[in-house]
Structure 1
Amino acid sequence: MIKVTVWNEFLHEKLHDEVKKIYPDGIHRTLAKGLAADDIEVATATLEEPEHGLTEERLANTDVLIWWGHMGHDKVDDEIVERVQLRVWNGMGLIVLHSGHFSKIFKKLMGTGCDLKWREAGEKERMWVVNPAHPIAAGLPEYITLDQEEMYGEHFDIPAPDELIFVSWFEGGEVFRSGCTFSRGQGKIFYFRPGHETYPTYYNPQVLQVIQNGIRWAGPSGAAAPVRGNHQPLEPIGNKE
């Protein structure tokens, strides 16, 4: 069983009626319901909970953390960001969704500004699978079409991804690297672009399938933990004069 925590600011849904109509229980609960499976157990956490819901205990019991943020990036405590970073280094998977590209944790792990072009015009997005052999693309068609989404366009200020899985085309003409993977320490990171709060993207079965695939890809590998620090010799070391 892969233990997942879906983290969401849960601010837009409280402040904006347009978003509340689409996600009345919050993006986090919509995702939790859509992602749960026989092998995936989902919990949720939000910004305004104590320690943002990301206590030491919660993170210790999280195999994959999903992150959605937008208007409250600066409200996330730096100590919690460092706590999450340490867990990623030690093997926790991280899936960053949509505007989470500007979150403190993603920028810290990328080491770049993570900026991009954007436009909110409710335009069509066609997201092409450019790496169909990758596990995150399992069971998907050649492309996914979203009738309305926010545009993100290149240049996306991130390091060169370890793997590129999706490239989006938008009705206005721009393209974007919409599915990128990275490794940091023992942890796997998947950035997945779709999910603006004013569109019902997280009800789309293909979008949910991508995120489920990402959970299974980013989950614990079972690999042995690395050994570091001062180390005693395995073989006798002869005196050298």
Structure 2
Amino acid sequence: MTIRALVWNENRHEQTNALVRRLYPEGIHGEIAGVLRAAGGISVETATLDEPEHGLTVERLAATDVLVWWGHTAHGEVKDEIVQRVQERVWEGMGLIVLHSGHFSKIFKRLMGTPCALSWREAGEVERLWVLNPNHPIAAGLPPFFEIEHEEMYGEPFTVPEPMETLFVSWFEGGEVFRSGLTYQRGAGRIFYFRPGHEAYPTYHHPVVRQVLANATRWAYNPATAWKRVNQAPNVPPETAPVPLTVKGPRLHADGEEGFR
């Protein structure tokens, strides 16, 4: 079955910075979309911040299996109602891949429930990423480690929840280390955070980074029907209980009455 991916990018640096525009003439979203199309078995669309509803309409999200998110300078411009919409789709089973500075995006912070803060330095350092679990699907076909010639440093502590698994650890030329590949699950949706991707460097042209993006999209895909009940809290009438029972004691709610939220 073809995986339906949607690559979202705020698309602001490409409009204002000549260096970023030269590195990514089709935008970061266009570059990543090309990576996924070339991987095979993935159909790809793109969306950007300035489109109506940020390109994330109810209908479009319903037709998305995996959402890839890149943002940096305009996190605050993403409307809260759109963030809620994306969160509910993740709960239902849509995969989410959050890249680089997307750690501060509204959607990632909401799903993590923590500040998602870190230290950083923009000095074009060598980044060496070590693969901690070569048997994980996201690490399929990867070498034991790989290097990116120039990258922005992210340093620990990274104030995120303990992940299901840490797949990559980065070492930087200045000596810092960072957990650069983390997996989570929220509701029925799988989430992968991948650190590399500073817009001033050609990171998304790196062959191993491109392989990680393709692997992660396949891993995040959930073929099951959307779990529409994940956000429901029905008041179940006593007579429909699997085992017959008699109501005993006082009740706060009448049959069928909604609970408090």
Displacement over 2 Å in runs of 4+: 221-232, 234-241
The 2-side partners of 1:157 and 1:66 are apart by 21
Write the distance in 2 (CA, Å) between the matches of 1:147 and 1:54.
34
Match of 1:230 among 230, 235, 241: 235
How far the C-alpha of 1:225 sits from its partner, in A, is: 3.9
Match of 2:87 among 78, 85, 89: 85
Displacement of 1:39: 1.1
Q: Deviations over 1:172-193 (max 9, x none)?
A: 0000000001111111100000
User: Does the alignment pair 1:157 with 2:162?
Assistant: no
3-state SS, counterpart of residue 222 of structure 1? coil
What is the deviation of 1:221? 4.0
Once the two structures are TM-superposed, the CA of residue 211 in structure 1 deviates from its matched residue by 1.1
1:180-229 deviation line (CA, Å, top 9, x unaligned): 01111111100000000011111112101111111111101427848562
1:135 aligns with 2:137: yes
Provide the residue aligned with 1:12 in structure 2.
Answer: 13
Match of 2:256 in 1: none
In structure 2, how many angstroms separate the alpha carbons of the residues matched to 1:202 and 1:224?
A: 31
Which protein shows a greater Rg? 2
Q: Which amino acid aligns with 1:63?
A: D
What is the CA–CA distance in structure 1 between the aligned matches of 2:247 and 2:154, rounded to whole Å? 63
Give the TM-score, by structure 2 length.
0.88
- In structure 1, what is the equivalent of residue 103 of structure 2? 101
Q: Using the alignment, how far apart are the partners of 1:147 and 1:155 within structure 2?
A: 23
CA distance in 2, matches of 1:87, 1:124: 37
Give the aligned partner of residue 209 of structure 1.
211
Mark the CA change 1:223 to 1:44 in structure 2 (over 3 Å): closer, same or farther.
Answer: closer
Structure 1 gap ranges (5+): none
- SS across alignment from 1:169: strand
Counterpart of 1:86, as a letter, is E
Cα distance between partner residues in 1 of 2:226 and 2:54: 30
Matched with 2:116 is: 114
Identical aligned residues as a percent: 62
Structure 1: distance between partners of 2:65 and 2:47: 14
TM-score for both structures, normalised by structure 1: 0.96
Q: What is the CA RMSD across the aligned residues, in angstroms? A: 1.7
Gaps of 5+ in 2: 250-261
What is the SS of the residue equivalent to 2:123?
A: strand
State how far apart, in whole Å, the 1-side matches of 2:77 and 2:32 are: 22
Give the letter aligned to residue 19 of structure 1: V
Q: How many residues align?
A: 241
